Amino acid sequence: MRRFPLLHIVLFFITFLSTLVAGALQNGVDLIEDPGAIVSGLPFSGTLMTILLFHEFGHYFAARRHHTLATLPYFIPAPPIPPLVIGTFGAFIKMKSPILTRSALIDIGAAGPIAGFLVSVVACVVGLILSPVISLDQVEGGFSLGDSLLFTFLSWIIIGPLAPNTDILLHPVAFAGWIGLFITALNLIPIGQLDGGHVLYALIGKWHDHISSALVGVLAALGVAAFLWDFGWPGWGAWAVLMLILGTDHPPVLMPEERLDPARRRVGVFSLVIFVVTFIPTPIQFL
């Protein structure tokens, strides 16, 4: 008998509320004086929550298709406080039974990022159409977001080349799409048991651990470079430490002799290509 998923529902609504507040604060709303203006956060909150829902249910339904027990998504609210006001630390599901085959592993690992990626791309396109170009002389303080290869391409196609001393002021929908692409990249880093680690293990098996360990070193180097040469992001150093704590290896599947079919290999390669085009060496710089 299934238990009523009370905790999942409560966490979802708390996270929806925290991202709604975050979206309103991004618009400069004073929620103490005008609490009704919280609805101005809907474009950001609705977009970001949709991206997270598609990502996590991509995993969930792939797990169900392969008869792997998995929980419903746990959403993680975050206090909507400066400097980067987004209102959530993301979401996750827990696998409650082992994954049997490499085919199941690649399906489950790739389904979430691909689903979230597709919604994020749509959000970026819609949001960039709504985003104005402003002079940097209008900007005081704040932060600048880095661009992945994909976001740079979308910006160039939709807005075109920027004049000197100008930049794009992202519409809340575009900002949520940017976050969605960044979350996709984080999850697809081929380390340990991240989504990208699942995909890499399914593709190359025992060689996974060597590449996983090497990439932890790359992330640590980017973290150090941020302090020494202002290139990279200090957060990559923290991410490298977290990966070491969680482990860089991957447990074997129960039926390792099963071979991947060509279609699943293409899915795996496509997932790693998504990682390359969404990865941002310097995702944020404070001005």
Q: List the structure tokens of 96.
A: 């409650």
* Per-residue model confidence (pLDDT) at position 218: 93
* Per-residue model confidence (pLDDT) at position 254: 85
From residue 65, how far is each of 68, 70, 99 by CA, in Å?
8, 11, 12
144 confidence band (pLDDT: 50, 70, 90): confident
Radius of gyration of the chain (CA): 20
pTM value? 0.94
* Per-residue model confidence (pLDDT) at position 284: 84
205 confidence band (pLDDT: 50, 70, 90): confident
pLDDT at 142 over 90: no
Q: Which residue has the higher pLDDT, 162 or 43?
A: 43
pLDDT at 32 over 70: yes
Contact (Cβ atoms closer than 8 angstroms) between residue 179 and residue 86: yes
pLDDT at 201 over 60: yes
* Per-residue model confidence (pLDDT) at position 141: 61
Largest Cα–Cα separation, the chain: 64
pLDDT tens profile 257-272: 888 999 999 999 999 9
Contacts of 247 (CB under 8 A, 6+ apart): 192, 193
Long-range Cβ contact pairs of 230-239 (< 8 A, separation 24 or more): 231/281, 231/282, 232/281, 232/282, 233/281, 233/282, 233/283, 233/284, 235/283, 239/186, 239/189
Q: Which residue has the higher pLDDT, 155 or 163?
A: 155
Torsion of CA 129, 134, 136, 141, to 10 degrees: -80
Q: Region 168-184: what's the mean pLDDT?
A: 96
In 3D space, the residue among 229, 215, 216, 212 whose CA is nearest the CA of residue 282 turns out to be 229
Q: Which residue has the higher pLDDT, 166 or 285?
A: 166
* Per-residue model confidence (pLDDT) at position 287: 60
Question: In a 3-state reduction of DSSP, which class is residue 198?
Answer: helix
Contact (Cβ atoms closer than 8 angstroms) between residue 175 and residue 48: no
Using a 10 angstrom Cβ sphere, with 0-12 exposed, 13-18 middle and 19 or more buried, the burial of residue 229 is: exposed
pLDDT at 1 over 60: no
